[in-house]
Structure 1
Amino acid sequence: MSSPKVRLRNGEIEGRLIDRESVAFLGIPYARPPVGSLRFKKPEPAPKWDGVKDCTKFGPHCPYIASHTDRLTDSSEDCLYLNVYAPYPDGKFKKDLPVFVYIHGGGFVMDCSNKLGVDNIGRHLCSKDIVVVSLNYRLAILGFLCWGKEYKGNYGLFDMKMALEWVVHNIGTFGGNPSNVTVGGQSAGAAAVDLLAISPLTRDLFQNCINFAGSSYCAFALRQPQNVKQTATEFARKKLGAEEEAKDSEVLELLKTVEGKKLAIEGLANYGPVIDGEFFPEELEALRRSAPKKTVLVGVTEQECLTFGTISKQFPSLRESVPFYVRIISETLDPEVAVAIYDKVVDDSLPDSDNNKFEQFVKFLSELFFNYGTHKMVKHRVDRGEDVYLFQFKYFKEGTNGSYGKMLPYQAASHCMELPYMLGKSYVDDGDFDPDDTDHKMIDIFTGYLSNFVKTGNPNGQDLVKWNKVNQENYASHLCIDLEPEMHDHGFYSNHVSEFDQLFKNN
């Protein structure tokens, strides 16, 4: 079978066969390269091209420093590319298929869509008659710098907007239905999905949402513009050689002109979406009330912060590490209130080396980072009459978390550990995912639910344990996803929601 070609509005592209039933078009430009005078600007439409563009390999992604190697990834500031995976039986596209757009996580400062498993997306999602789209967007300083009235930030969100508009205009060429689009994401990607669902600029571009470990209620979902500017200023002084007494205008000029790769940051930092008066013309609570209803599938892994919890070893005690974790995710949360919650949740009479104590600590962090924000989104959407399907992913296999696993006192499903069973590849850079028979069973279960949801807005289907919607009588009703899935009525949230309400009241 010859290589597939399609003609888009901008020109012709050539992709590659995944197998005899599906194809991939990788590295499709969806915007003009955001370089030179376009740095720190909203994206512009991609220019047209002559001839046939080679779309058989991934395009560049935004520069970032890989957390497990501390090395700059192979990347470029010219990073606004997306990928399309589609069913292609007998050398032909189907018609009016549901579309799943996936937005990667990484705290708005790292990661990319190039890490997804091409072959397994075809095998496990396209085979279920779904067209899949993944995209790269600008990160960290390049994606979210705020600097006065001229530079309001949110460039990464505007990138996502342009990618979704590209989907609406072009996905029919690949057999997709632009009126049946589900947007999903993980961690920061999930927070972005929730933000896209309430912004007047994007909320009508898709119909359903999938949120893995993130929502707009999570503390890391929003930043304060003045703090973003301060963080960028400190970066310019420490990493780019800006003088301590340099004027704002001089620091900004340095950020605008330095080589793009030099703006890659290390680890998590204070960059992300902000209330800018444009992408978010009002405060989020007002936008949530006016946003159109959507059907939502949302959940977390059993112990989201198991991996993150190991950072606490850098501190004299678990308790003394709490303010550090609070500062990572938010500038508005009160560390003293968080420590008070820690004192209620964790038995501090146990030694820090005790695994039971560490598990209590992990559950506290998971609530702080992800579960509480999930609870708030679920409650809001259910109360306004939306269909919400909640899950906790419990299945785990050693090796999928790579070198991180060697740091853990025990093994369990942690942050990102559900992704191999949807995307077919470990999301940890040095993770090993060589699925055996039980893994394939888990893949079939998980992608079965997900594909049903993308198609119909309901995850239920033949040969799957029934998944009940959340209701106002029990906001914790969820499906525990394992080799034998089962519905649970409790155990999703801690018994300290009211304390977390107090912590998050000003967030």
Structure 2
Amino acid sequence: MHAVMISTTAELGRQVRTRDGQLRGQPRNESGVLVFKGIPYAAPPVGPLRWRAPQPPASWHGVRDTLVFGAGSLSSLENDPRPGPRSEDCLYLNVWTAAKETNEKRPVMVWIHGGGFQFGSSANPATDGSLLAAKGVVVVSFNYRLGIFGFLAHPDLDTQSPSGNYGLQDQLAALRWVKANIAAFGGDPDNVTLFGESAGAMAVGILMASPLARGLFHKAIGESGAFWDGRHGSLQSFDEARARGRAFTRRQGDASIAALRAMPAEQLNARAPWSFERDHVTAAFSPSIDRYVIPDVPARRFLRGEQMQIPLLAGWNSAEEFPFMSLSLPAQSAQAFRAAAEEIFGKARLAEFLKLYPADTDAQAKASAAALTGDMVVGEQCWQALRLHRASIRAPTYGYHFNYTSPYTPIASHVTEIPFVFGTLTPQRVIGSTTPPADADRALSQAMMSYWVNFAMRGNPNGPGLPAWPAYDETDVVQILGKTIEARRNPHAARFGFISSFRENGALPMRWREATTS
């Protein structure tokens, strides 16, 4: 008798079967990429499911069209101009794949959008995954609960759910969906890279330090974020988060959780607004140490080597402060800046501070205030993540510093690297630029896309035709992503070292909460 070979190969088309039901996505584009948008990865978190852990989605019969993005979470940002539908019913994800067969096991890149845990969505044109998918990875993005919907902590909720970090639990649910379903799209559930920017990168660092995320991703990329530290110290404690929740219910006439669950979503959202004038780490509904998703200060977990032992690629931009200048120390004069710095860092260390952030003139003080803001809100924690991960885990670690400018990107601000990573090169509106990209911009984008995809494939960004990117070590050498791509010693090492010297067992000082603010 002859043995019969049974093939497990299945052709991948625009109709895909997941564990919950069949999907129909968009036809392949000119690059051969299939797109599936608005896939439910959890039940709508509405009604009795408001402020509960995400529940599995309901299965369906027949074929579900996935042709448009699902609604993003309601935005806490006052007067948010960003387009697109928003709803409390927001737990949807998107998949881009160029696989031809289901058994290809392509590396998977899962994107977490930023927005301070207050605004944003996966429908941002800058983060369209088509061009990355065309390079051989499967790309996933998703929405998660934001603001009061994602992060209300309250003693009356503790008996119903072990966490106020519902937005982070949504992220875990999305990763579990990927693990269960991504093979149907030609992806490898055992080769998942989690990447994000700003709050998305903060989430990457938090989840690396969370016991609940173990095994759900295998590599990490953090763009401009790491620990959810900020200008006023480390993230909210268990007690602080619940005190914030109690204060909110008092302002609603001592409303019960049941009454707040019955309140229309738009009305509830309007009662918890946020603006860039307020610190998003300690003065907003945002991640807190809940002793469940986040058992301790994430940087402290990294210090003790309790984070995931996986490859990490992380970095920061040269003008991170651009959107956050309202959080700067007073800098209307050199004298005001020096006085505010003394209150935070202490009289004994003021001279040391002024060598790094000089304030001999008013103009100098203004420039130093900007640099300090970028360092404290983003830069120093990215550097800490690299250092601590390399020292405690010794997993492959790669650092970068994005300082590229051009007519298309005149300032290397927070968020400006995103269109380069995705290859979309959409207008850089955050810095007021609508100048179209040129050949130099496209060349840098191709290099960055290749670095990111190479890292997702094998935990190393290096590859043919790319400038060598050395692994991060005690020499503090990072890859400069600028007009020239080259490896150089971290240009902000002295400044970052000064700020990090105030960390106590990994955490920034609680007393910074009370320091003078503008």
Structure 1 residues 154-233: aligned runs within 5 Å = 154-216=165-227, 218-219=229-230, 222-232=235-245
1:296 aligns with 312
Instruction: Give, in angstroms, the shift of residue 167 of structure 1.
Output: 0.4
Deviation sequence 1:139-190 (CA, Å, 0-9, x none)? 1111111101335301111111110010011000110000111001111111
2: CA distance, partners of 1:217 / 1:65: 18
For residues 222 and 457 of structure 1, the distance between their equivalents in structure 2, rounded to whole angstroms, comes to: 29
Shift of residue 234, structure 1, vs aligned partner? 5.1
Which residue of the partner structure matches residue 362 of structure 1? 370
Tell me, yes or no, if structure 1 residue 346 matches structure 2 residue 357. Answer: yes
Q: What does 1:410-489 align with in structure 2 at a 5 Å threshold? A: 411-423=410-422, 424=424, 425-426=426-427, 428=429, 432=434, 434-472=436-474, 474=475, 476-489=476-489
Partner of 1:403: none
Show the counterpart of 1:26. Answer: 37
Confirm or deny that 1:271 pairs with 2:296. no
The one-letter amino acid paired with 1:31 is A
- What is the DSSP-based 3-state SS (H/G/I as helix, E as strand, rest coil) of the residue aligned with 1:435? coil
Matched position secondary structure for 1:16 = coil
Displacement of 1:505 in angstroms is 4.4
1:130 is matched with which residue?
Answer: 137
Query: Structure 1's 72 and 315: CA in aligned 2 closer, same or farther, altered over 3 A?
Result: farther
Deviation at 1:490, TM superposition (A): 3.5
C-alpha distance in 1 between matches for 2:313 and 2:372:
23
Q: For 1:321 and 1:349, how far apart are their aligned partners in 2?
A: 10
2: CA distance between counterparts of 1:255 and 1:147? Answer: 12
| 2:112 alignment counterpart | 103
2:54 is the counterpart of 1:43 = yes
Q: Cα distance 1:311–1:397, how it changes in 2: closer, same or farther (>3 A)?
A: farther
Equivalent residue for 2:322, pick from 306, 312, 317:
306
Q: Secondary structure at the match of 2:457?
A: helix
2:334 & 2:120 partners in 1: Cα distance?
A: 28
**Structure 1 156/166 Cα, relative in aligned 2: closer, same or farther at 3 Å?**
same
Matched-pair contact (CA < 8 Å) for 1:460–1:466: yes
Contact 2:375-2:496 at 8 Å conserved across structures: no
Q: Mark the CA change 1:286 to 1:499 in structure 2 (over 3 Å): closer, same or farther.
A: closer
Query: Which residue of structure 1 aligns with residue 514 of structure 2?
Result: none
Residues 1:367 and 1:498: Cα distance change in structure 2 (over 3 Å): same
TM-score (norm 2): 0.82
Matched, 1:380 2:388: yes
Q: In the alignment, which residue of structure 2 is the partner of 1:80?
A: 91
Give the Cα separation in 1 of the matches to 2:291 and 2:323: 36
User: Counterpart of 1:408?
Assistant: none
Shift of 1:209: 0.4
Deviation at 1:61, TM superposition (A): 0.9
Give 1:200 shift.
1.5
Residues 431 and 78 (structure 1 numbering): CA distance in 2 closer, same or farther, change over 3 Å? farther
Give the match for residue 19 of structure 2.
9
* Shift in CA distance, 417/377, structure 1 to aligned 2, threshold 3 Å: same
Indicate the residue corresponding to 2:492 in structure 1: 492
Is contact 1:419–1:427 with CA below 8 Å preserved after alignment? Answer: no
Q: Secondary structure at the match of 1:48?
A: coil
Cα 1:314–1:36 shift into 2, 3 Å: farther
**Shift in Å, 1:232:** 4.3
Correspondent of 1:52 among 57, 60, 63: 63
- Measured in 1, the distance between the counterparts of 2:261 and 2:150 equals 12
Unpaired runs of at least 5, structure 2: 1-11, 511-518
Moved more, 291-300 or 456-465: 291-300
Deviation of 1:311 (Å): 6.2
Give the Å deviation of 1:260: 1.5
Superposed displacement of residue 498, structure 1:
3.7
Separation in structure 1 between the aligned mates of residue 307 and residue 484 of structure 2, nearest angstrom? 36
Quote the offset at 1:213 in angstroms.
0.9
TM-superposition CA deviations, 1:272-312 (whole Å, max 9, x none): 22222222346643575234411011001112113322665
Q: Report which stretch shifted further, 2-11 or 150-159.
A: 2-11
1:221–1:272: 8 Å Cα contact kept in structure 2? Answer: no
Which amino acid in the other structure matches residue 349 of structure 1? D
Structure 1 gaps, min length 5: 327-333, 401-410
The aligned amino acid for 2:113 is H
Instruction: Select between 144-153 and 341-350 the one with higher mean Cα deviation.
Output: 341-350
CA spacing shift, 1:79–1:318, aligned 2, 3 Å: farther
CA RMSD of superposed structures (Å): 3.1
Instruction: Please give the alpha-carbon distance, in whole angstroms, between the structure 2 residues aligned to 1:209 and 1:396.
Output: 26
Q: How many residues are matched?
A: 471
Is 1:280 aligned to residue 294 of structure 2? yes
Asked if the contact 1:16–1:56 (Cα under 8 Å) also holds between the matched residues in 2, the reply is yes
Which deviates the most, 17-26 or 49-58?
17-26
Cα distance in 2 for partners of 1:274, 1:216 equals 11
TM-score (normalizing by structure 1): 0.84
Asked if 2 retains the 8 angstrom alpha-carbon contact of 1:63 and 1:263, the reply is no
Measured in 1, the distance between the counterparts of 2:198 and 2:338 equals 20
Q: CA deviation at 1:345?
A: 3.5
Cα offset, 1:439, TM superposition? 1.6
Q: Secondary structure at the match of 2:420?
A: helix
Q: Which secondary structure state, in structure 1, belongs to the residue aligned with residue 34 of structure 2?
A: strand
Instruction: Find out whether 1:392 has 2:397 as its counterpart.
Output: no
Partner SS, residue 59 of structure 1? coil
CA distance in 1, matches of 2:486, 2:407: 23
Kindly indicate whether residue 264 of structure 2 is the aligned counterpart of residue 262 of structure 1. Answer: no
C-alpha contact (below 8 Å) 2:229/2:508 kept by paired residues: no
Kept in 1: contact 2:104–2:187 (CA 8 A): yes
SS of the aligned residue for 1:74 comes to coil
Q: For residue 447 of structure 2, what is the amino acid of its counterpart? A: I
Aligned residues with identical type, % of pairs: 29
| Structure 2 Cα separation of the partners of residues 64 and 101 of structure 1 | 22
